[in-house]
Amino acid sequence: MRMNRRADTCGRTNRYTSASTSSSAAAASTEASFQAAQYVPETNSLVSSSSSTEQAYTPVPEPTTTSSSDPEPTTSSSSSDTPAYTPETTAQAAPTTSTEAAAPATTSESSSSSSSSTSGTYTGEITFYATGLGSCGITNVDTDYITAVSHELFDSYPGYDGVNPNANPLCGKKINLSLGGKTVTVTATDRCTGCAFYDLDLSPSAFDQLASQDQGRVAGATWSWA
């Protein structure tokens, strides 16, 4: 009786073992089939993506330095623009000389009048002044009938050397003077620097014979050498 139970036990064991084994095998087969159906190696996608990346990549060319190099500056333009300095010493170095002092100024009126200063009739203005020691070396008073001739006539009178005015041949010459129908005779004893060529500067008494002293300067007087 015990042997039968053992045999029965063994039979159960074998059935259990066999069923367990077949169940495990079926599970393993199912898992293997699932894994075989689901698993896809990622190597192909990686390779394809890698290959697509390699095809899209374009290498960037390396930059060159030829365009960035600047030409070296030159100094020729700045040197040509700078003007050369010239010292301004010529104007100061040349001394100024006065030619007017060496050569006396002459006018056509004085040169032409010098030849006729001893003859003819002349017209000019008359004035009067306070008398005294004149250029001829003669001292006069206001009551004397004397006159001063212009400096141009005095200096250009024939025979005068321009050195000693007291020795001028004009000194002491008589002049007949007329104005407005009045006449007076005067003596040349002085030199008038403010008179025109044929003007006469009279003593007050000589002027009174022709015009009023209130008039001061009177034009239109005529005169000639006596």
| Residue 166 within a domain | yes
| Residue 61 within a domain | no
**CB of 117 within 8 A of CB of 155?**
no
Mean pLDDT calculated for residue range 7-26? 46
Mean pLDDT (the chain) is: 71
Q: How confident is the model at residue 138 (pLDDT cuts 50, 70, 90)?
A: very high
Confidence check: pLDDT of 99 > 50: no
- What pLDDT shows up at residue 118? 72
**CB of 175 within 8 A of CB of 221?**
no
**CB of 206 within 8 A of CB of 186?**
yes
| Residue 90 within a domain | no
| Residue 154 within a domain | yes
| Residue 137 within a domain | yes
Where do the DSSP E strands lie in the chain?
121-128, 146-150, 174-179, 182-192, 200-202, 218-225
Domain containing 194: what range? 117-225
| Residue 202 within a domain | yes
Percent of the chain with pLDDT over 90: 47
- What pLDDT shows up at residue 8? 46
Confidence check: pLDDT of 70 > 80: no
Question: For 168-199, how does the pLDDT look when each residue is reduced to its tens digit (9 = 90+)?
Answer: 999 999 999 999 999 999 999 999 999 999 99
| Residue 104 within a domain | no
Task: Look up residue 73 and give its two tokens.
Answer: 């500056």
Specify the number of domains making up the chain. Answer: 1
Q: How confident is the model at residue 128 (pLDDT cuts 50, 70, 90)?
A: very high
Distance separating alpha carbons of residues 117 and 109, to the nearest angstrom: 11
| Residue 97 within a domain | no
- HEC string of 95-139? CCCCHHHHCCCCCHHHHHHHHCCCCCEEEEEEEECCCCECCCCCE
- Note the pTM of the prediction, 2 decimals: 0.51
Q: Which of the residue ranges 14-23, 55-64, 123-132, 211-220 would you say has the lowest mean pLDDT?
A: 14-23
CATH of the domain at 152: 2.40.40.10
